[in-house]
Amino acid sequence: MADGEATFDIEENLTKVGVIPTLQARSRTLRNRLIQEALRIARKVPFDDVSIHEICAAAGCSTGAFYSRFPDKITLFKAVMIFAAAESGPMLESMVRSLPFEEILPKLMAKQVERFQKQETFFRSAFKVSLDSPEAWEPFRRNANSLAKAYLERVQSHPDIDQERVKPDRVL
């Protein structure tokens, strides 16, 4: 995940889900590497099937380093969901803002289906975590709201759409 991709404060969101705050850049770098490796793994293997030891080995750190940043594996997965949303939100919103109007919905739907098919394992794990912790889905909810707002802006600025028929309160 590159800087500037998120439309929300990642640090604040990580703290909300229970990630232990980092004070030093080196600690933040390792924390982010753990999250990124866990995301890479979660896209291939059900998260329940992966051990903390395997995640640490992939990130090149000890389990002690893991536990100084995350109280448990579920908290790590919630952080993974935040990073995944920070990747996908700006990419999808960019599509809504830049595509020709008539291409937005077909291409957006195709992209979402493609993403789900490529990352089915990740999304199944995310749905499972969200059943026990509904707040874990909040980054994706926020992305959906941002997408709806961006699309509504496009609708409201389109010269061929009767603005009397546009009902923003039914969208947002």
Give pLDDT tens digits for 15-29.
999 999 999 999 999
Report the CATH number of the 10-171 domain.
Answer: 1.10.357.10
Structure tokens at 129: 């975590």
What are the residue ranges spanned by the domains of the chain? Answer: 10-171
Place of tokens 């579920």: 74
Q: What pLDDT, on the 0 to 100 scale, is given for residue 165?
A: 87
* CA nearest to 171, candidates 96, 107, 115: 96
What is the Cα gyration radius of the chain?
18
Q: What pLDDT, on the 0 to 100 scale, is given for residue 1?
A: 46
Q: What pLDDT, on the 0 to 100 scale, is given for residue 172?
A: 65
pLDDT at 171 over 80: no
Give pLDDT tens digits for 68-126.
999 999 999 999 999 999 999 999 999 999 999 999 999 999 999 999 999 999 999 99
d(CA 104, CA 150): 11
* CA nearest to 125, candidates 82, 77, 84: 77
pLDDT at 66 over 90: yes
